[in-house]
Amino acid sequence: MKKAILLTASMFFWTHSYCQKTFHGRVASESDDSAVSGAYLANNEGQVLAQTDSMGHFKLLWVKGVIRISHVGFVTVYFNPDTLKSATFTVLLRPSINMLEEVQVITGYQKLPGERSTGSFVNVGNELLNRVSGYDVISRLEGVTNGLAFDRRGLNRENLSRSPELRIRGINTLYAESSPLIVLDNFPYEGSLDNINPNDVLSITVLKDAAAASIWGARAANGVIVITTKRGGGGPPKISWNINTQISAMPDLYYNPQTLASKDFIAIERELFGKGFYVANNNRAFTPAVEQWLKVKEGLLSADEAERIISGYEKHDIRKEAQQWLYQKGVSRQYNLSMQGGTEKHTYYSSVGYDQQSSYVQENTARRLTFTTANNYSFTSKLHAGLNLNFITRNSKNNGLTLSDMETTGIQTIYPYASLADAAGSPLPIPRDYRDLYKETTAAAGLLDWNYYPLSEVRKRNHTAQEMESRISTSLSYNWTRTISTELLYQFQHFTSQNEQIYEEESYYVRNLINRFTQKDGTRIIPNGGIYHAANGNGKIQSGRLQLNFNENYTNSTMDGIAGVELRENRQVSFPGALLYAYDAGLGQGQNIFNYAAFYPVRPESQSRVPAVGQQRRTVTDRYVSYYGNLGYHYRTKYTITASARWDASNLFGVKTNQKGVPLWHTGLGWALSKEDFYQLKFLPYLRVRLTYGSAGNTVKNITAYPVYSYVASDNVSGLPYGQLQTAGNPDLRWEKTSTGNMALDFASKNSRVSGSIEYYIKKTTDLIGESIMDPTTGIVSRSILPTGVVNRINYASTHTKGIDVEIKTRNTSGPVLWESVWMYNYVNNRVIKYNASQRILASAFVAGPVPKPGNSIDAIYSYPWFGLSSVNGSPLVPVENGALGSSPESYSRYMGSLTPDDLTYHGSAVPVHTGSLRNTVKWKNISFMLTLLWKGGYFFRRTGMDYFGLINNSTVHKDYYNRWQKTGDELITHVPSFPVSLNNNRENLYRYAEVLIEKGDHLRLQDISLNYTLPAMKAFQRLNIYLNCRNVGILWKASKVGLDPDYPNSRYPNPSVFSIGLSGTF
């Protein structure tokens, strides 16, 4: 075993012995010989080897190969240490008039200098990515990536841990995949983004238009995010490490307007009870105050005793107790150790990362272990190979409880006077599922304790999840001539997931199930003991690529190109899992032999079957084949012509061969006007124009041209096998296709004091896939009519998007204090231009969710027109006959039935149309400071309001209750309706979706702050940094005055701020 370990270690960390030659140098500006501090010395793989200090000095150990010295605002310089005649030297950097010269475009197929690209892209380097700390890498792009937006509308209630929807230049689809394609080290990445260790990432390139992204073909319509990880470089072994701690603030439980003071909430319940809205029912839970009044009404409790008990409730505040017992300050720790080095024949990079997460929800934790090694071999000057291994394992425990977890039938929002523990800290019960009085009476029948104790549940269940992922990538390249080479790449990705839920015998989940199935004679259908649930799945992805590369330099021109073929198979399997009753965790055994087909009487009433595990093993296989080519021609560094073509085919589309594939392409032009003889603008020495046009595609996962049947081994009643039609299939189903035109202007002033780009783009998407109702004579009922029906997908819509991307960089000061700013502005506006609806869509569907409507935004937000409140009864007014207004139930019914989509108020987009950011970076000696502001505008959100239906049936209240109409004249100062005499759904919906509850989402946010200090050079360390940063600092201004964060209007609380402190170094 010891020999095996030593052999494995030698494979990853072996290197030759070196004479430890050290070079000392100084980097200065060519224009005035002033020191250039913060310049990076890196190898060809981008690994930073040294950095200049405040005087421009650096120390560099000998390495094999070419070294580049780069700094913002200067032209990059390259040198080979082997050619130096002295170990001490000075490097002069020439101020750059073309900021594009410093950027390299990485598409996943090739690397190109920025000036050779005609497409639209954003490159985010290692320094910018590391300005903040965090568990994932994608969140670090917000506010610093032009054209990339984060949509958090889906993060409602308390599910803030979910990833927001990513959008590059808006959205191009209705129901297909809307997220950009993620490419990791040359291949599409299908795993969780949380599996990528940020410490291993070298750079990220975002491809935005057809010229940049069309090389990825049918999956690139939504843009492409290309992640490049570190690959190591030559030289003696260099060990780097990074340690940081992140502390998140406790959630703001007083943020949600749907919570009132306990005394006020009880007063409302008292009023509702007096009006007869609460009727005894064993099949729902009642709050404690209502329960006491019901007991008084039933003669089980005196009125005085009930009032004494209720008066004690008024002193409780569930938010305060939740802060003590349920929530906490989240703490995460990140550790990373890496090693790189090599020789002329072999270079390597290896790293180990370990992350610990303790969520702001108590008892929710996560652990991640990552291992990466990259080896590059040069067998000869022509033959090269690479071998990369990645292994990730993530383990999480989700045993914590939140306020949302305490919701139950009849109490959809936890009442404010709930109490979790007594003065001694002992757990207290709260209502759940059934009436408390009913539970009390069942004790005499020999049933288990049926009370729900939230604090005890945390210790009586164990919810765990484990994910494992491994990737193996290999490459082989051969240089046939100076201009032609061939690459063969292969990647195998394997991932598994295992989810387990173990409930102890004393847990409420088990006690509730046992009690429900206990028969009148005392027979227990569900045996005593724990309950074990498990579900698992796995996936295998194989990708292969054969590519021919061409690059030739002529006297006045350069030509480069690639051509190749790519194969890919994605196979995912999910298993039915396991379900064991009477489970003994110590022995790992339980029971699963029951009569699952029988219906048993259950308490309090009705009948049900014993919960059974699923019987289906689901397998989804996607296969793709692609042929592609890309060509670029560059003449006299003035003119650039690019073109690409790609043909993609999939087993999911079209029965006919010509429908299985889709041809995609682009063409682009670049013209450096400033290099023309006629150009005379001295204040703007660099000016370049880029024009591109092309097409890319999009897919809908799990949708195919063929009918799909689901096979079940046996029916629970008959025991016979059967199949169920899931999708009807469409032999004419085609890929969605997006055509994009992009016009861009790149510019720079003298010495690049001001530089940037302005881009205008237009996108048109056709053949959008959606659901349609089938002809009833087929005998197939569509799912849009019946929930258990069949899905029928067709190509039926088109959209149009236009937008502007602006990025301006300014060097405000130079010298000892360097102050730089980056301004970004984005405008994106989409609209539906064609939509073939197969049925009449009611107006109510438009206000409840975005329904495509030609001429309006895909992200449209609609509302009912508001006509005010009645001065007589405080109910919403609606038009009746002869232009009059009324508020009777009959008028509501007629009005709602007559509404058409054209009668609704269209406000605009529910996602920002305008976004902008300002990033300031200040460097002085060994200190750097960075601050990012983020602005969003031109959009709207719907806030919650007083919902009487929710109040009466689910105990959901709102602070607007204080502002409700109560007397004549209030209609002049409020829009909150009066308390209804009786519930009317039309009345409730008129206000729930009224235009008075639509708010402007415009706001300005302090996104992040970072401070970095590089300690003076020490013998033991080449580099040692101390850094502090804070993410999601807070809102500085917002247009809405309702007190909600426009990014989280439907959440119980916004995402807490995160403060980080860390230490990194190299030796």
Phi and psi angles of residue 143, each rounded to the nearest 5 degrees, phi first: 85, -10
Torsion of CA 548, 554, 558, 562, to 10 degrees: -10
- The closest of 82, 76, 116 to 94, measured between CA atoms, is 76
User: By the 8 A CB rule, do 1014 and 1024 touch?
Assistant: yes
Q: How many residues are there in the chain?
A: 1067
Distance CA 468, CA 190 (A): 13
- The closest of 804, 1039, 1054 to 941, measured between CA atoms, is 1039
What digits encode the pLDDT tens for the residues 151-207?
998 887 787 777 889 999 999 888 778 889 999 999 999 888 889 999 999 999 999
DSSP for residue 157? B
Q: Sorting pLDDT into bands at 50, 70 and 90, what band is 557?
A: confident
β-pair partners for 489: 475, 545
Distance CA 656, CA 636 (A): 47
Distance CA 829, CA 429 (A): 52
Token pair 């659901």 is found at 771
C-alpha to C-alpha distances, 761 to 268, 513, 640, 743, 937, nearest whole angstrom: 55, 58, 19, 6, 20
What digits encode the pLDDT tens for the residues 371-403?
999 999 999 989 999 999 999 999 999 999 999
Distance CA 223, CA 120 (A): 10
Strands 88-93 and 22-29, by their bridges, are parallel
Average pLDDT of span 416-420: 95
pLDDT score of 740: 93
- H/E run at residue 566: strand 557-574
Q: For residue 836, give both structure tokens.
A: 């073939």
Would you call 289 exposed, middle or buried from its count of C-beta atoms within 10 A (0-12, 13-18, 19+)?
Answer: buried
What digits encode the pLDDT tens for the residues 886-919?
999 999 999 999 999 999 999 999 999 999 999 9
Neighbours of 33 (CB within 10 A): 11
b/e map of 150-165 (b: 16 or more CB within 10 Å)?
Answer: bbbeebeeeebeebbb
Would you call 973 exposed, middle or buried from its count of C-beta atoms within 10 A (0-12, 13-18, 19+)?
Answer: exposed
pLDDT score of 914: 97
β-pair partners for 413: none
Distance CA 981, CA 697 (A): 55
Distance CA 623, CA 645 (A): 20
pLDDT score of 1: 37
pLDDT score of 657: 42
User: By the 8 A CB rule, do 161 and 359 touch?
Assistant: yes
What digits encode the pLDDT tens for the residues 230-283?
987 777 888 999 999 999 999 999 998 988 999 999 999 999 999 888 999 999
Q: For residue 811, give both structure tokens.
A: 């060097």
Pick among 3.90.550.10, 2.60.40.1120, 2.160.10.10, 3.90.180.10: CATH of 2-95: 2.60.40.1120
Average pLDDT of span 977-989: 93
pLDDT score of 714: 57
Q: What is the mean pLDDT of the chain?
A: 87
Strands (E), 943-1002: 998-1000
Tell me which amino acid residue 351 is.
S
C-alpha to C-alpha distances, 356 to 289, 330, 362, 397, 398, nearest whole angstrom: 43, 11, 14, 12, 14
Whether 981 has a pLDDT exceeding 90, the answer reads: no
What digits encode the pLDDT tens for the residues 642-677?
999 988 887 654 445 444 567 888 999 999 999 999
- pTM for the full model? 0.87
- The closest of 630, 620, 629 to 650, measured between CA atoms, is 620
pLDDT score of 514: 96
pLDDT score of 197: 94
- pLDDT > 90: what percent of the chain? 61
Residues 6 or more apart whose CB falls under 8 angstroms from that of 573 comprise 537, 538, 539, 617, 618, 619
User: By the 8 A CB rule, do 612 and 592 touch?
Assistant: no
**Quick check: bond before 236 cis, omega within 30?**
no
Neighbours of 815 (CB within 10 A): 12
- pLDDT > 70: what percent of the chain? 90
Structure-model confidence comparison of residues 680 and 177, the more confident one: 680
Average pLDDT of span 1019-1038: 90
What digits encode the pLDDT tens for the residues 53-104?
766 788 888 777 788 887 766 778 888 887 777 778 888 887 664 444 456 7
Q: Sorting pLDDT into bands at 50, 70 and 90, what band is 703?
A: low
Would you call 669 exposed, middle or buried from its count of C-beta atoms within 10 A (0-12, 13-18, 19+)?
Answer: middle
Whether 12 has a pLDDT exceeding 50, the answer reads: no
Least confident of 210-219, 448-457, 1029-1038: 210-219
Task: Return the CA Rg of the chain.
Answer: 32
Distance CA 1018, CA 1015 (A): 8
Reduce the DSSP state of residue 747 to 3 states and report it: strand
User: By the 8 A CB rule, do 405 and 420 touch?
Assistant: no
Average pLDDT of span 558-575: 92
Phi and psi angles of residue 529, each rounded to the nearest 5 degrees, phi first: 120, 175
Distance CA 139, CA 161 (A): 12
Would you call 9 exposed, middle or buried from its count of C-beta atoms within 10 A (0-12, 13-18, 19+)?
Answer: exposed
What digits encode the pLDDT tens for the residues 523-544?
999 999 999 999 999 999 999 9
H helical segments located in 601-671: 657-660
Average pLDDT of span 318-332: 95
- The closest of 646, 652, 661 to 704, measured between CA atoms, is 652
Q: Sorting pLDDT into bands at 50, 70 and 90, what band is 3?
A: very low
pLDDT score of 622: 84
Distance CA 30, CA 15 (A): 38
C-alpha to C-alpha distances, 458 to 462, 509, 530, 964, nearest whole angstrom: 8, 12, 15, 39
Average pLDDT of span 8-25: 49
C-alpha to C-alpha distances, 62 to 19, 235, 323, 342, 952, nearest whole angstrom: 8, 6, 56, 12, 76
Distance CA 39, CA 57 (A): 9
Distance CA 810, CA 755 (A): 7
Q: For residue 298, give both structure tokens.
A: 């039933």
What digits encode the pLDDT tens for the residues 916-967?
999 999 999 889 999 999 999 999 999 999 999 999 888 889 999 999 999 9
What digits encode the pLDDT tens for the residues 834-877?
888 766 788 888 998 878 899 999 999 999 999 999 999 999 99
What digits encode the pLDDT tens for the residues 729-755?
777 777 788 999 999 999 999 888 999
DSSP secondary structure letters along 117-128: --S-EEEE-HHH
Distance CA 992, CA 980 (A): 14
Q: Where are the domains of the chain?
A: 2-95, 262-316+401-457
H helical segments located in 582-733: 657-660
Tell me which amino acid residue 463 is.
H
β-pair partners for 680: none
DSSP secondary structure letters along 571-598: EEEE---EEEEEEETTTTEEE----TT-
pLDDT score of 94: 73
